[in-house]
Amino acid sequence: MFPRDFAWGAGTSAYQIEGGWQADGKGPSIWDTFCHEKGGIFGNQNGDVTCNSYELWEKDLECIQQLGLTHYRLSLSWARLLPDGTTRNVNQKGVQYYNRVIDDLLACNVSPMVTLYHFDLPQAIQNLGGWKSPGVATLFDSYSKFCFQTFGDRVKLWITINEPHVCARLGHEVGIHAPGLKEKGTAAYLVGHNMLRAHAMAWHSYNSEYRATQKGAVSLALNSDWFEPLDPLRHEDVASAERDLAFTLGWFAWPVFITGDYPELMRSAIETQSKMMGYSGNWRLPRFLKEDPPILGTADFFALNYYTSRKVKSGGCCGQMLSMKRDLDAEEVLDPSWPISGMSWLAVVPHGLRKLLKYIKDVFNNPTIYITENGFAQVGPLQIEDVERCKFYRSTISEVVKAIEEDGVNVRGYFAWSLMDNFEWADGFSVRFGLFHVDFSGAELSRTIYQSGREYSKIISKYKSAQSGCQGFLDDDY
C-alpha cells in the first residue's frame, strides 16, 4: 500500500526550462558558456529561452494543477541568485522569482522539492577551477546556507546535488556536458570527490543551523541503471556487474550510507589499472581528509534517478591510456527483449527499477527512498497520443507497487521526468520527456498535455480518492 503521504510529483531543472539566461541580473552558468561555444549541442541549440518559465511560471503552475501533483521538484539557478557565485552579490530579482514559485506551489497545496545544483555551475566559479578546485565545496556551502536561510521556512525537501556521477563523468571525462573537459581517468574522480565534500558541508550546515527550526530533510540525487550479469553462471560477468554498480551507484552512495569512504571494489579496480599502466599507488581516487566534514550519514533519505538497465559482461577494458572505462573493465549490453524508447540507450525496463530498489534496501540499510527522476523519451514526429509512454508509466508504477508490497521497500515518492518537454542537454530539443508538450516553434511556447500526462493524472487521482492500497494500480483498466 502506498503511504498516505506518498509524494506524487514531476520534475524540472532551472537551465532546462527557465530561459531568461541574462535577465534581471542573472550571471552566466557553465551551460550558457558551453552552448554558446557551438558544436556541442544538437542543432547548436541552447537554453537561452527554452520553456521561458522565468516569464511563464503561471503556465507551469497550471500544468502542475492539471496533473493533480502533490509535489513538484525544481532546481534553483545558482547564477540567478548569486551571479558571481558568492553571497557578496545577491540578485534580489532571482530571490523574488523563486519566492513566487514556492509560495504559489504552497498556495495550491503542492510541496516543493528543491534541488540546489542541477548541472549549472556559475561560470565565475568555473573560472576559479570549478568542481576540480577544493575551494568549490566552501562556496557551495555558503550558497546552500543562503538558500536554507532564504527559502527553508517553506521548503521541507532538499536535494543538494543532482547526479554527481553524470556531472563528473559527462562533464569532465567524456566532455559532452558542460564544462566539456576530457581529462580521462583523473578529473572525474576529483570532481566527484569535491561534490561529496560540498554535499557533506551543506548537510552539516543544515543539520546544525536550520533543522531544529525548519524541520526539513536533505539528501543528494544519485542516478543508476540496474546492472546484472549477462551470464549469471559466469564468474567474470557477475564480478563485472558488481563493479559497474560500485562505479555508478556505490561511488556516491557507499560514502554517504555505508562507510564514509569509496567502495573498496572501486578503489582496488582503479589501483589495479594504474599499476598496469606503470603508475604506483592509488593517486587518482582521492581520500577524505581528517579536516573534511564527515561524509557518512549525510542523507536523510535516498533520492534515486532511474531510467534503464544493462546486462554486463567482462572485457570492456580498452586503449593504452588511463580512463574510467578502462578502470571499470566491463562491457554493458542491451537485452534484445527490452523495448527501446526514443533514444538508443534508453531501454524500457520497469522491472529493473524494482530490482534496484530492492538492492538499495538490502545494501544501504533500508532507507526511505524517493524516486526523484524516471521517464520515457520521445523523438521524431510528435505524438500527443503517446501510447507507449502511457504503457511505460503503468508498468513502472506497478513495479514500484511490487517493491513496496512484496519486497518491503520504503518508497515514499515518485517524480516523473519531466513536467514538460525542455532542453535535454546535449540532445537539445530533439528529445521529449514531458507530460506536457511545449511548442518551441511558437512565440507563446504553448503547453499541451500528452495522453501520458492524462494517464499519470488518472493514477494520482485514483490513489488520492481511493486510499485503498495498491490493487487499483494493477487493474487492467490502467
Count CB neighbours of 41 within 10 A. 24
Instruction: Classify the C-alpha dihedral 361-365-367-372 as positive or negative.
Output: negative
Grid cell listed for 101: 514559485
Cis peptide before 418, with omega less than 30 degrees from 0? yes
Residue in the structure block whose three cell numbers are 494543477: 65
Q: Tell me the C-alpha distance between 132 and 193, whole Å.
A: 9
Rounded Cα–Cα distance for residues 28 and 62 (Å) = 29
173, 331, 373, 424: which is the annotated catalytic residue?
A: 373
- For residue 346, how far is the Cα from the chain centroid? 15
- Residue 328's φ and ψ, nearest 5 degrees, are -65, -40
| Burial track 101-124 (b if 16+ CB lie within 10 A, e otherwise) | bbebbeeeebbbbbbbbbbbbbbb
Q: Rounded to the nearest 10 degrees, how much is the dihedral formed by the CA atoms of 366, 372, 376, 379? A: -150
Question: Distance (Å, rounded) from C-alpha 433 to C-alpha 156?
Answer: 26
Q: How would you label 174-189 residue by residue, b for 16+ Cβ within 10 Å and e otherwise?
A: bbbbbbbbeebbbbbb
Nearest CA-CA partner of 164 in 142, 141, 186, 197:
197
Task: Please state whether beta strands 447-449 and 71-75 pair in parallel, antiparallel, or not at all (unpaired).
Answer: unpaired
3-state SS of 258-273? CCCCCCHHHHHHHHHH
The answer to whether 302 and 219 are in contact (CB under 8 A) is yes
350-363 and 387-405 helices, crossing angle to 10°: 30
Nearest residue to 160 via CA among 73, 86, 220: 220
Alpha carbon distance 472, 466 (integer Å)? 9
User: What is the maximum alpha-carbon separation in the chain?
Assistant: 64
Let me know: does 114 contact 156? Beta carbons within 8 Å: no
For residue 278, count other CB atoms closer than 10 A to its CB.
6
373 is catalytic: yes
- Active-site residue set: 373
